[in-house]
A and B are shown apart, each in its own frame.
Chain A
Amino acid sequence: MGLFKKRINEFPTPYTCNNAIKEGGLSTKLSMILMGFGNIVNGQVIKGLIYLFIEIVYLVYMIVQGTGFIAGLGTLGSAEQQEVWDEAKQIYTYTKGDQSILMLLYGVTAILLTVLMIFIWRGTLKSAYKAECLRKEGKHVNTFLEDLKSLLHENLYRLFMTPPTAFVFVFTILPLVFMICMAFTNYSRIDNHLMLFDWVGLENFKTLFDSGSILGSTFWSVLVWTVVWAFFATFSNYIFGMILSLLINRKGTRAKGFWRFCFVLSCAVPMFVSLLIMRTMLQPEGAVNVLLRNLGLIAGDASLPFFTNPTWARVTVIIINIWVGVPYTLLQLTGVLQNIPEDLYEAARVDGANAIQTFTKITLPYMLYVTTPYLIVTFTGNINNFNVIYLLSGGDPVTDLSSTAGKTDLLVTWLYKLTIDKQYYNIGAVIGIMTFIILAIGALFTYRNSKSYKEEGGF
């Protein structure tokens, strides 16, 4: 697989970490222990002091708390919260027990900080070695002010990328690692492990794969429905959006702007508002049933089981998803459709192709070619489509009372229910990981096979 190709270094530089350790002078070697020493010796005092300061802060943190946190990861706490009778005050007081969740969080944070520290450490070595080399060669060594100025020029990317990346680390990567860890614990309301929990290895994965257990059988049925849903939701939107877009953009159609406006207006309304409206309209006593009764299409006391019958519910969410999604597809495809070279159509017309032939032989292949990345993104988006399902049906109807998922629940909405409502955090995390694996395999496969990927050559 091309994935594991040996990467060619596009940015060759003599100032690497290895070179620093092997060939660096005494001052550089000393900066392995005393960060920033090399910089101070070679004239970059302020930079060196900053490095030194970072090292001291890190060491103090590790000594005071960090090591304890990392050690805590092993056991995740054992002291239970206890009730103690306080004679003096005549009340029960609680001793502070260990909170596994906090211990896990702090432990993971400490490890991530250490990893970050290793990167900084490598950075200081490189920087010290570079300063040393430049000085030896008699070249100019940047002062601190010049370093700061370079942040606006050749190092602009450092200035621009660092804050967003830091945010991504704190709000995306740290939580993810934390959550992935939970998948290997028994942190769940089952057996009351909300305060104290332990590592259980692959136990949760086993439960989920065991089709004999309730969770296992639910998992498989939810998984199948998720894939079916994603397929239909993506392609129904795509095809329908394309047809609509063709109808609006064809030559004979008048008032193109007006039609586009009509459809776009519905996606201008916030999605959760329109979905909540849809939900209330489709209730047994909702507007749609009332309208149908008034028109005499169904009996006066009957109502269509939009969200109460499993099959009806599934079809309903897919159809409503068309309502929600087509305007977006329309917006996105209109631009692409207008880019199809006109002469292709003319040639087809000369050759006597009819409308359907031009669509299947020209429009569709061209669109598929250009919009494959978009389709993949939509497909992934639909597998993770929380809003539509949660707001519309809430996963209902639940036919099997012992299972935790309803008939329209996707993996994500099930995950949400399990974590937020049921507090089965460990199972929720396992489902998240499984979703990721499914998506990763799918995305890798399709990305690598799509023409636009091959031609773009990267990413």
Chain B
Amino acid sequence: MAKQFQSAKKKKMINNTVVHIILAVLAVIWLFPIFWVILTSFRAEKGSYVSTFLPKAFTFSNYEKLFNDTTILNFPQMFMNTLFIAICSCILSSFYVLAVSYCLSRIKFKLRKPYMNMAMVLGLFPGFMSMIAVYFILKAVGLTEGGLIKLALILCYSGGAGLGFQIAKGFFDTIPVAIDEAALLDGCTRWQIFSRITLPLSKPIIVYTVLTSFMAPWLDFIFAKVICRANSDQYTIAIGLWKMLEKEYIDSWYTSFAAGAVLISIPIALLFLFMQKYYVDGVSGAVKG
């Protein structure tokens, strides 16, 4: 009996070791590119193709170049552009998302189902299909020149916010309706319920919504590229990084691309890790159905 117990224990230990080894190998694979880009950002040799995996010499000049060499690709300005766009579109679209999801979750009105069905149908169209049309519309209104491009991008990023209600709605659905009813009996208006009861109870989803909408402009480069075209003073970070890998820049900018990627990834990664908890809460709430 004791022997059997011991062998079971041994088996368990072998299993555990195997699992840990597998996890370790996988973790290395997953972290390898990140490790590599950090190495590259400190690499002293220029150019994109190198014959050795580890850099021969380390330097900080790649980072310095990003901030000092602003004639061709103005990294600090791109950063400010993106920050401005991100803050504005974040405020606008967070409000939209929360307002729409609250209404769809709590208030029964005639257009509720039609609206949700419309959102589902619109979600099936490839987003890039209308991109060029959006560009034409913005151009017809005159928003594709100079500083107005920022406004155009803000409008674009928050334009679809009304359709991205699923996760927040799923969250609001989990807040007991009884609370609302009690408040209504006490003479609260719907607005007071929303602002004084529902919102304070929904910190996770607010954080999640705010952060996702804040991050969108940092991550998108396709919309930005189509709308900015050749206006290089309006570029966002993403286009800048993409440009650095184009044929005419790649030789001199490759290592700086890695440096820029590291610089952008740090805040985004921090935000993401902070948000992760809320992300899981929100999604599992929505999936439960």
A and B co-occur in one complex: yes
Interface size of B by CB at 8 A reads 96
Least CB distance from B162 to A in Å reads 3
A 423-459 binary contact with B (CB < 8 Å = 1; else 0): 0010011001001100110010000000010011011
Residue in contact with B36 in the complex, picked from A244, A277, A370, A374, CB distance below 8 Å: A277
- B196 in the interface, Cβ–Cβ < 8 Å? no
Bound: A370/B92 CA distance, A:
33
**Chain A nearest CB, measured from B83 CB (Å):** 15
Say how far A87's CB is from chain B's closest CB, in angstroms: 33
**Judging by beta carbons under 8 Å apart, are A156 and B159 in contact?**
no
Question: Which one of B19, B48, B117, B129 has the greatest number of beta carbons of chain A within 10 Å?
Answer: B129
- Inter-subunit contact A268/B272 (CB<8 Å): yes
Contacting pair A373 B289 (CB below 8 A) = yes
Instruction: Please report which residues of chain B, range 235-289, place their CB below 8 angstroms from some CB of chain A when the two chains form the complex.
Output: 238, 241-242, 245, 254, 257-258, 261, 264-265, 268-270, 272-273, 276, 279-281, 283-284, 287-289
20 A-B residue pairs with Cβ-Cβ distance under 8 Å, sorted by A, are A152-B192, A161-B103, A164-B161, A167-B160, A168-B163, A253-B19, A265-B30, A268-B265, A272-B241, A273-B261, A274-B33, A277-B37, A281-B36, A283-B48, A327-B30, A334-B280, A380-B124, A432-B128, A440-B124, A459-B120
Closest CB in chain B relative to A428 CB, distance in Å: 7
The interface residues of chain B lying within 8 Å CB-to-CB of A60 are: none
A residues whose Cβ falls under 8 Å from a Cβ of B: 10-11, 101-102, 105-106, 152-154, 156-157, 160-161, 163-165, 167-168, 170-176, 178-179, 182, 244, 247-248, 250, 252-254, 259, 261-274, 276-278, 280-281, 283, 285-287, 290-291, 294, 323, 327, 331-332, 334-336, 339, 370-371, 373-374, 380, 384, 386, 390, 411-412, 415-416, 419-420, 425, 428-429, 432, 435-436, 439-440, 443, 452, 455-456, 458-459
Interface residues of B in 67-118 (CB under 8 A from A): 96, 99-100, 102-103, 107-111, 113, 115-117
Query: Residues of A contacting B268 with CB < 8 Å?
Result: 268-270
- Is B128 touching A271 in the complex (CB atoms < 8 A)? no
- Given the complex, which residues of B lie within 8 Å of A154, measured CB to CB? 190
Q: Is the CB of A270 within 8 A of B219?
A: yes
Nearest CB in chain A: distance from B11 CB, A: 11
The reply to whether A335 and B284 contact each other, CB–CB distance below 8 Å, is yes
Known: A269-B34, A323-B30. A370 touches B130 (CB 8 A): no
- Beta-carbon nearest neighbor of B37 in chain A: A277
Is B158 interfacial (CB 8 A cutoff)?
A: yes
B121 to chain A, nearest CB (A): 7
B272 near A168 (CB under 8 angstroms)? no
User: B175 contacts the other chain (Cβ, under 8 Å)?
Assistant: no
Q: Are A156 and B287 in touch, CB under 8 angstroms? A: no
Taking a contact as CB atoms under 8 Å apart, the answer to whether B159 and A167 are in contact is: yes
From known contacts A164-B161, A171-B155, A277-B33, infer whether A283 and B125 are also in contact, taking CB-CB under 8 Å.
Answer: no
| B241 near A164: Cβ-Cβ < 8 Å | no
Using an 8 Å CB-CB cutoff, how does the interface string of B25-67 with A read, 1 for contact, 0 for none?
0110111011011000000000011111100000000000000
Given that A160-B102, A178-B133, A336-B284 are contacting pairs, would A11 and B110 also be in contact in the complex, using a CB cutoff of 8 Å?
A: yes
Q: Are A179 and B132 in contact (CB under 8 A)?
A: yes
Q: Are A168 and B190 in contact (CB under 8 A)?
A: no
Q: Are A269 and B129 in contact (CB under 8 A)?
A: no
User: Which residue of A164, A171, A259, A294 has the most chain B CB atoms within 10 A of its CB atom?
Assistant: A164
Nearest neighbor of B270 in chain A, beta-carbon distance? A268
Select which of A152, A266, A412 is within 8 A of B33 by beta carbon.
A266
Q: Which residues of A contact B258 (CB under 8 A)?
A: 277
Question: When chains A and B are docked, how far (Å) is the Cα of A290 from the Cα of B191?
Answer: 62
In the docked arrangement, what's the CA distance between A420 and B134, Å?
A: 13
Residue B201, interface by CB 8 Å: no
A272 touches B107 (CB 8 A): no
- CB of B27 within 8 A of CB of A459, answer no
A171 and B113 in contact, given A268-B265, A273-B241, A273-B265 (Cβ under 8 angstroms): no
The answer to whether the Cβ of B226 comes within 8 Å of any Cβ in the partner chain is yes
CB A453 to nearest CB in B, in angstroms, measures: 9
A11-B109, A174-B137 known; A373-B132 Cβ under 8 A: no
